[in-house]
Each structure stands twice: as structure tokens, then as C-alpha cells.
Amino acid sequence: MPLHEAVSGSEWWRSGVIYQVYPRSFADSNADGMGDLVGITSKLEHLDDLGVDAIWLSPFYPSPQKDAGYDVSNYMDVDPVFGSLADFDRMLEKAHELGLRVMIDLVPNHTSDQHPWFQEALSSEPESAERSFYHFRDGRGETGEIPPNNWLSLFGGPAWTRAEDGQWFLHLFDSSQPDLNWENRLVREAFEDILRFWLDRGVDGFRVDQPHAMGKQAGLPDHPYVETAGAGFIEGEPDPPMWFQDSVHEIFRSWRKILESYAGECAMCGEAYVLPLTKMAKWVRPDEFHQTFNFRFLDSPWEKDSLVDAINESFRAFDEVRAPSTWVLNNHDTIRHVSRFGGNYGRATASDGIGPNNPQPDNKLGLAKAKAATLFMLGLPGAAYLYQGEELGLPEHTTIEPKHRQDPTFFRTNGVRVGRDGARVPLPWVKGGSTNGFTEAQDAWLPQPNSYAGLSRDQQQHDLSTLAMYTQALKIRSELRLGEGSFDWISNTDLLTYQNGSTLVIHNFGTSSVELPAGEVLLSSAPLKGAKLPANASCWISI
């Protein structure tokens, strides 16, 4: 029996390829230097040509943009910088005409501090109904000058900020992102309305931001091992009081019911950072999330043993609950895989970024490894996520000047952690000008590095480009139904090989070219040398 058996004829989200659109950096239609919904609509054909099944749109809601839109001040509208609800509807309509599904980002752990709920909370009394939308507490110490507990913000510094009247409010992220109190029934009801608002407009599902943070342990006790875990957690240690509390599961069950009351296989993917994956599997039981991002895979360095462990752990955990594993190598919080694999930057999602003062990546080597990693990933059964620009082989922008930086991580750590801006740089469409076709404005909201000109989409309309490899891979993946296929290891040597149906997927972890097994080569991440696969390359072989 293979490690993972094929699942056929099942729902689209079990095997689909979902492309993350980061609206501010995708395409600008109105020459203000910031991407927008009309820009996305105008380029959807390119995504159809690429061959993805769905797009996931990062937040486009009204927001002060303190955390690039993950600080929402109105969940039922569009920020004017991105357009209007009518623009959204048109974008959705066009996507559906092309056969692309659309998932949108839901940000339930926190709002913006400009959200009317928070503004009302601030102007209300301690212990009031308005304050109970959030976590307000008195401080410790004689005058309440010490935060209520020892929790830290993921973006640096304490997780508490003091309001004018002396009470403190909790924010696991920036101080402009107060955490909602999910014990409050009114919060739950409000989000059910938000889900229905967008489902009524026709969206195909949600990517849910930080669902593992929504529940907080009653009484908000100190985090017992904050010294070693910082704002996060350490795998294997007891559950910390702010992450993956059991109380959240009934919320997801209620959301799943809402999604299932709509036609069309609507799906939700949790950005659940829960490890080990055996624990994460509980989040994708049949009545909870349809899938969650696989951070074990994303976090894995491009090293054989770690990769093998991540894949084994994924199939074992998710098959147990009959959920698909997802596979992902990039997103807007992670150093782009070209640069990540072109250097040694440790954990991918640490959101520390790479700055001008860090050792610089070897992006040539990184591109070879990144293309190979993608080919290795796209052969795996399950759902796969791509992040805009990876199909062009874009590297991280590692030399952004401080004056351009936007990520709150940069500001909350006084630049010690440069943050995630380097992965969020506007896309190059057509070589030339200061932004390679991203905007007609003189400048985009973030500058591109020089290398983006040659990587523009119009420069990649030939068979040997990274774009061509991605397009071919998605075409073959779909024709051979690899997403629904089976999985078994064939060899765990330098030539790491697995089999999916009648396809062998091979990566050469060695240092020299290796003879390939017999079969028809369907696709390769680098030109073969005779019948040999070069080091740092992957290929697909039909047997």
C-alpha cells in the first residue's frame, strides 16, 4: 500500500492550485503606485493561462494599512485605494467567467484600532459591553503601570498597550491591531454576518488569518516559557495560553456549516500555525477547516532528510482525518524561495527578512533550487498554493532603503528585523520604465530591485523561462490528475524519488549529474545532460 492513496472524483479544493494575489503589488490601474482590483481584473487572463484553479486575495478592505491591510476597519467594504465593491463584483464575475474560483482573506483575530468596535470600546467604561469586544485589563503594579501579563507581540515588544484611561488592551501583533474577544457571542455573530455578506456576493471561500490565535486561555495567565518561546511557542511544550486553544473549534464548525449552506463547494483554508501536524489534523476534521497551510513543509530547509520527514508527517497526519495536505513554498510573510534557498536563512516564516546588512543570497543557485523545489512540490497529491511572482522566479528584494519600509516589524524592532517588505515588491509585467509595467505612476509603493526588469513577464514568453516551467507543470499536473494521485517513496538516496500514479518525481540532492531511470521525461527544472539530471534539479518521468 502506498504511503498515501489516490482520492478521485472529489471536491476541487482537495487537489486545486491556488494562487495568492497580493492586491497592492499585483497591478495598478489608476496610476497611484498601488495595485488595485481593476488592475487584478485586467490581468486575470494571465492567471488562467498559467493554469491555476483559484486565486486567494489578501485583504482589500478599508484599513489604515498599518499592517498592509491585515488591520481591517470595515469587513464589508473595499478600501478606496483598491477600488469599490462594484470593482470587486466585476473582478469576481470575470474570474468566474474564466473558471477561476476566488477565496478572500478573513481576519478574525484582530481588527484595526480604527474599527468602530474598537473606537467605541476606547470611549466606553472599563467592564462595559463595548470593551468586552476586546481584551481590556487593568495593569499590575501600584498604579497599574505593568502590563497585565508577560505576553509578547509577534512584531516585537509587549503584547499590551495602555489606553488613555489606564487600562491595557491586548494585541498579539501591532498595537494598531487589538485582539478580539472570541468569548463574546456578539463577536461570533458579527463574523457570521461577514461570512454571509461575501458568500452572498459569490466568493468561493476564505483564507482565515491566524485562527490559532483566536482563543485565549481563561484569565489570560502568564506564558510559562516566554523566555525561550518569545511571542511564539515551542513544539512539544505544553500549549501556551494564547495559541491553539480548544475553544476555537466550535467557531470553525459553525463557519463550515455556513459555507456548506451555499452551493459550489466553498472552502476555507486556515493559516493555522499548529505543530506537530498530528495536532493540526484536528483542525481539518470533516466539520472544520477544509485545509490548513502546511507550515511544516514551508519551514523545511531544502534538505533531503527534513523534506522527507515533512512529507511523511503530512500524509500520516492529514490522511488520518481524510483531509488533503496542502503544499506551499511562498507567501507574503516569507523570504521568497529563490533567495531563501540561495542562502542559509533558517526558518522561513520568522518574518525577519533579509536586509542589506545580512549576508546576501546567491540568487542564481537559489533560482535553480527554487524551480526544482516547485517541480518537486507540484507533483505531490493534495492542494498547492503559489504566491504571485514565484512563477517569474522573483528573488527577495534585500536592499530596500529604510525610508521605503512599511512592515510594522521593522518599526517595532527599530530595524533590527527588517521584516517582510522584500517579498511584497510590485510585480514586473513589461520590461522598462521605473516599475516594469506595474504602474503608470513614476514610483510604486515599494521600489523593485534592478533584477526584476529581466524577469518581467513579457521577457519570459519562451520555452526555457521560469514562467514556462510553471505553466507546463500546471498543465501536466492537471492532465495527469497528480493532485488527486497517490504517493510513495521510491528511493531515498541523493536522487530522492517518489511515485505518483505512473509519474516519477525526482530531485538530485547530490553534487553531480546522475543517470535517470528509464521512462519519458515529461518536464525538468533544468536542461538534462544527456540522460542525466544535474545537481539541484528536479524532473518528472512517465513510466
By annotation, the residues acting in catalysis are 209, 260
In whole angstroms, how close is the CB of 107 to ligand NOJ at the nearest point? 6
Minimal CB distance residue for ligand NOJ: 70
DSSP symbols for 71-121 = S-S-TTS--TTT--HHHHHHHHHHHHHTT-EEEEEE--SB--TTSHHHHHH
Which string of x and - marks every residue 318-347 that binds ligand NOJ (by CB under 6 A)? --------------xx--------------
**Cell numbers found for residue 154:** 509577534
In whole angstroms, how close is the CB of 299 to ligand NOJ at the nearest point? 14
Alpha helices in 105-240, H assignment, sequence order? 116-122, 185-201, 226-229
In whole angstroms, how close is the CB of 407 to ligand NOJ at the nearest point? 8
Nearer to ligand NOJ, 105 or 484 (CB): 105
End-to-end CA distance of the chain: 19
The binder of ligand NOJ chosen from 29, 210, 460, 525 (CB under 6 A): 210
Which string of x and - marks every residue 57-76 that binds ligand NOJ (by CB under 6 A)? ----------x--x------
CA distance 128 to 249: 27
Which residue reads 545580512 in cell numbers? 358
Give the distance, in angstroms, between the CA of residue 209 and the centroid of all CA atoms in the same chain. 9
In whole angstroms, how close is the CB of 220 to ligand NOJ at the nearest point? 19
Nearer to ligand NOJ, 421 or 484 (CB): 421
Residues 330, 395 contacting (CB under 8 angstroms):
no
Which string of x and - marks every residue 237-276 that binds ligand NOJ (by CB under 6 A)? ----------------------------------x-----
Nearer to ligand NOJ, 427 or 482 (CB): 427
Is there binding between residue 536 and ligand NOJ (CB under 6 A)? no
Of the candidates 67, 24, 63, 75, the residue with the CA atom closest to the CA atom of residue 175: 67
Nearer to ligand NOJ, 122 or 154 (CB): 154
Size, binding site for ligand NOJ by CB under 6 A:
9
Nearer to ligand NOJ, 4 or 337 (CB): 337
Chain residues 286-325 in contact with ligand NOJ, contact rule CB under 6 A: none
In whole angstroms, how close is the CB of 104 to ligand NOJ at the nearest point? 13
Buried b (16+ CB within 10 A) or exposed e, 514-541: bebeeeeebbbbbeeeeeebbbbbbbbb
Question: Environment class of residue 357 by beta-carbon count within 10 Å: exposed (0-12), middle (13-18) or buried (19+)?
Answer: exposed
Nearer to ligand NOJ, 311 or 394 (CB): 394
Nearer to ligand NOJ, 79 or 333 (CB): 333
Which residue reads 513544539 in cell numbers? 235
Is the link from the previous residue into 59 a cis peptide, with omega within 30 of 0?
no
CA distance 433 to 538: 35
Is there binding between residue 173 and ligand NOJ (CB under 6 A)? yes
In whole angstroms, how close is the CB of 151 to ligand NOJ at the nearest point? 15
The binder of ligand NOJ chosen from 87, 209, 288, 352 (CB under 6 A): 209
User: What Å distances lie between residue 227 and 214, 315, 330, CA to CA?
Assistant: 22, 33, 29
In whole angstroms, how close is the CB of 173 to ligand NOJ at the nearest point? 5
Neighbours of 494 (CB within 10 A): 14
Chain positions contacting ligand NOJ, by CB under 6 A: 67, 70, 107, 173, 209-210, 271, 332-333
